């Protein structure tokens, strides 16, 4: 290897290291700012965490693509990246219902059509809402049975709101 090539390679590697270090701190800062921004919104904590993680993963993916291009590793890593996309699609299809429940849960929590303590009927169950999480809703029926329903099913089948819990009942 001659001296000009060695110095060019060293500059390239140094540039990649600097980009990775800067990216680490910038992405960490963006994550903290996004956490502060989302916590001021009426978003459930689960939804906030998911949104933050998606943003962080996308940013790291962009940094990774830059590093691959800078080091001229496209020929080696692009087929692996293509294979990983196929694997990710297979995993997404496998967890389709979980993702559907999570998205429906986000909309149920954001829309606030019903809250804890409200009396509703959905999927032939009538009772009081005990808990609404990202994936599931728990309803206590009149006979004391606790029914756990997937949010995706509730969202697709609809519900009837019979009695909304008032603020006076909460205190």
pTM of the model: 0.56
Residue found under tokens 């956490």:
35
Query: In the chain, what are the domains?
Result: 3-94 (1.10.287), 112-170 (2.30.30.60)
pLDDT at residue 102 in the model: 81
* Per-residue pLDDT tens digits for 86-144: 998 888 888 888 888 888 887 887 777 788 889 999 989 999 999 888 889 999 999 99
* Per-residue pLDDT tens digits for 25-64: 999 999 999 988 888 877 777 778 888 888 999 999 999 8
Q: Is 80 exceeded by the pLDDT of residue 4?
A: no
pLDDT at residue 6 in the model: 61
pLDDT at residue 108 in the model: 80
* Per-residue pLDDT tens digits for 143-154: 999 999 998 888
């Amino acid at each position: 290897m001659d001296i000009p090539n060695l110095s060019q390679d060293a500059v390239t590697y140094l540039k990649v290291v600097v980009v990775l270090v800067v990216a680490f701190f910038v992405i960490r800062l963006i994550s903290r700012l996004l956490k502060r921004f989302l916590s001021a919104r009426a978003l459930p904590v689960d939804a906030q965490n998911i949104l933050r993680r998606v943003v962080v993963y996308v940013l790291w993916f962009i940094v990774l693509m830059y590093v691959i291009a800078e080091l001229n590793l496209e020929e080696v890593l692009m087929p692996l990246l293509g294979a990983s996309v196929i694997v990710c699609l297979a995993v997404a299809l496998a967890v389709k219902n979980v993702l559907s429940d999570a998205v429906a849960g986000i909309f149920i929590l954001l829309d606030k059509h019903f809250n804890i303590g409200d009396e509703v009927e959905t999927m032939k169950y009538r009772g009081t809402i005990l808990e609404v999480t990202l994936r599931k809703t728990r309803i206590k029926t009149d006979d004391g049975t606790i029914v756990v329903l997937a949010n995706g099913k509730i969202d697709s089948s609809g519900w009837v709101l019979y009695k909304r819990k008032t603020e006076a009942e909460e205190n």
